[in-house]
Structure 1
């Protein structure tokens, strides 16, 4: 298949019909400790968690605040279930660095992954959400505690910070989306003051800013060393709502069988050298 098909739901539906498991770019055991380190950097004493604790208490003052994690573009990866199991095994006492909190991981994709990936018991621990990252309406209808679509007249209303996600995790989802065509601008809705960008990665970035609380993080794994270069190009005008706070190479990768690309009406295989795998940490500004 040509690389441009990586953005297509049809491509993934076809692939998932025969694929049981595939991990993009880095194995979960490599990535999970890095994600945990970032989660521990969330200050437990900040309003970021203190407000969450007071609002979620409602007679349950002894229950620690819940940090919500959305693993987007999960596909046939088991990263979500492995991350949840890892976090469940960590100390939760207030004296533990970054402790005094519990974590809930959600898997998300715009195509339902193979049923064989996750047992019913595992899905109960890591709920799945059917989400289109290029649709603000889809994202707003799939907030952590949101069940099903929200009325259209509510979409334009400000979403309270405590309804939003704490952390987004994507492993090469940004790369798959980058292969898609330029997007048509969505229709303006009531109360809308910004026009969504046409570039698919920029659109994803723009949309995710609407559903992640300020100070929240986005851990993005990509083969591209310039995946989010557009953020530094716009300074601090706030259009995208994110700033890159960390970038590092976490692995090397190659495609031994080559990359299939389309050249006019023909397809050909291109063999490429090993390339770096980059971890970006973006912070919601």
Structure 2
């Protein structure tokens, strides 16, 4: 018998089919409460009185509804997923759990969370539903794990996001090295467009796009099954960004996010039944990453 093909976790069609077949709420790796400590700390550290949370790859996780306990208004939470089926399920389930409203539409927006379908690896798709630098906290459970299963993304250089150092509020912005006036005409122009598409690991693209959406000092909290999930943390890794790609106009994700902490959590135990009775499965660990958004500015070119 031929081996089964692995699931296409990077395909929206796969997720739509999965959620149509099984609409039951499902939490990857750990229960929804596993991130509570880190969520609470991040929100306490947030200077805004009304912080906004972006929940990426929400799927049918109960984390979406659990997050409501961490904010004053449900509208502070924005759930985003690749799958329209997941978003439609989320909208319906929220109304089933918290009740319908017959109030005016403005009140309805305040009573419920935001739900949007978007491709996290597409700038136009994200900007159609998200405002740049508008989120104080990004949270996910295994979304990056699914994205890591995707093939390398073919991009053109320079990439359409520009990263620049922060500038004091009382001075003009630091000019882009590609766009600033200069005695040399060549230095005032962006690098020439690459003739051939360049393959890039999707987990180099994701942190760039999330940096565009996150306020400086904001957090990105990740639950993953991998202890080495993010290749941008290790410049010597097999999937590190080649230097020529960085010098050709691809922003360095490691300049946009700093790793504040990692924490291992034991996976929920499983008991297996066999001829010798009940045995416990080997101990497994999951990993929590907490990133902090740096002060570098990111904007669309």
Change (3 A) 1:108 1:221: same
CA deviation map 1:135-157 (0-9, x unaligned): 1222222225xxxxxxxxxxxxx
State the match for 1:226 in structure 2: 228
Match of 1:198 among 200, 212, 218: 200
State the match for 1:128 in structure 2: 115
Q: Within the alignment, does 1:283 sit opposite 2:296 as a pair? A: no
1:21 offset after TM fit, Å? 0.7
**Aligned partners of 1:103, 1:33: CA distance in 2, in Å?**
22
**Aligned partners of 1:191, 1:9: CA distance in 2, in Å?**
25
Alignment of 1:34-73 (within 5 A): 34-42=38-46, 44=47, 49=48, 65-73=49-57
Higher alpha-carbon deviation: 124-133 or 67-76: 124-133
- Secondary structure, counterpart of 2:13 in structure 1: helix
State the match for 1:182 in structure 2: 152
Tell me, yes or no, if the aligned pair for 1:69 and 1:103 is still in contact at 8 Å.
no
Q: Supply the RMSD in Å over aligned alpha carbons.
A: 3.3
**Aligned partners of 1:216, 1:233: CA distance in 2, in Å?**
24
Query: Normalization by structure 2: what TM-score?
Result: 0.64
Change (3 A) 1:191 1:79: closer
Moved over 4 A (4+): 120-124, 186-197, 253-257
1:280 offset after TM fit, Å? 0.2
**Aligned partners of 2:117, 2:143: CA distance in 1, in Å?**
15
State the match for 1:27 in structure 2: 31
Tell me, yes or no, if the aligned pair for 1:197 and 1:206 is still in contact at 8 Å.
no
Tell me which structure has the larger Cα radius of gyration.
2
Query: Normalization by structure 1: what TM-score?
Result: 0.67
Tell me, yes or no, if the aligned pair for 1:68 and 1:167 is still in contact at 8 Å.
yes
Tell me, yes or no, if the aligned pair for 1:184 and 1:198 is still in contact at 8 Å.
yes
**Aligned partners of 1:21, 1:239: CA distance in 2, in Å?**
36
Q: Within the alignment, does 1:167 sit opposite 2:137 as a pair? A: yes
Change (3 A) 1:15 1:277: same
1:75 offset after TM fit, Å? 0.4
Stretches of structure 1 lacking an aligned partner (at least 5 in a row): 50-64, 90-101, 145-158, 258-271
- Secondary structure, counterpart of 1:31 in structure 2: helix
Tell me, yes or no, if the aligned pair for 1:197 and 1:203 is still in contact at 8 Å.
no
State the match for 2:58 in structure 1: 74
State the match for 2:174 in structure 1: none
State the match for 1:118 in structure 2: 94
Number of aligned positions between the proteins: 221
